[in-house]
Amino acid sequence: MRWNSFAVLLVFVLAVVGFSRIAPAQWEVIYLAPEESEYGAYGWSLFDDVQVGHVGDHSDSRHACYWTGSAASIVDLNPSGGDYSAAECISNGQICGWASFSGTIKAGTWTTSATSWVSLHPTGATESKALSTDGTYQVGYRTDDTNELEWRAGMWSGTSSSWTSLHPSSASRSIAYGVDSGEQVGVAIVDGDPHAALWSGSASSFQDLTPSVASSAQCFDVRDGRQVGVVYIETDRAALWYGSPSLFVDLHPTGESGSQALAVFGRY
Any residues with CB less than 8 A from the CB of 147 and at least 6 apart, and which? none
pLDDT above 80: residue 42: no
Q: Is the pLDDT of residue 4 over 80?
A: no
pLDDT top residue among 15 and 25: 25
Q: What is the mean pLDDT of residues 59-76?
A: 85
Number of Cβ within 10 Å of residue 60's Cβ equals: 8
Whether the per-residue pLDDT at 29 is higher than 70: the answer is yes
Distance between CA 210 and CA 197 in Å, rounded?
Answer: 8
Range among 46-55, 70-79, 109-118 with highest mean pLDDT value: 109-118
pLDDT at 229 over 80: yes
Q: What is the pLDDT of residue 9?
A: 37
- With bands split at pLDDT 50, 70 and 90, how would you rate the model's confidence at 12? very low
Residue 254 CB-density burial (10 A; 0-12 exposed, 13-18 middle, 19+ buried):
exposed
Distance CA 244, CA 164 (A): 23
Total-model pTM = 0.87
Q: How far apart are CA 202 and CA 30, in angstroms?
A: 40
246 vs 148, higher pLDDT: 246
In one-letter notation, the amino acid at residue 201 is: G
More confident residue, 12 or 159: 159
pLDDT, residue 70, reads: 85
Comparing 186 with 13, which gets the higher pLDDT? Answer: 186
Model confidence at 50, in pLDDT bands (50, 70, 90)? confident
Mean pLDDT of 67-88: 91
Q: 84 and 55 in contact (C-beta within 8 Å)?
A: no
Q: Hey, what amino acid is at 106?
A: K
**Strand order across the 193-199 sheet:** 173-180, 183-190, 193-199, 207-208
Assess whether pLDDT exceeds 80 at residue 28.
Answer: no
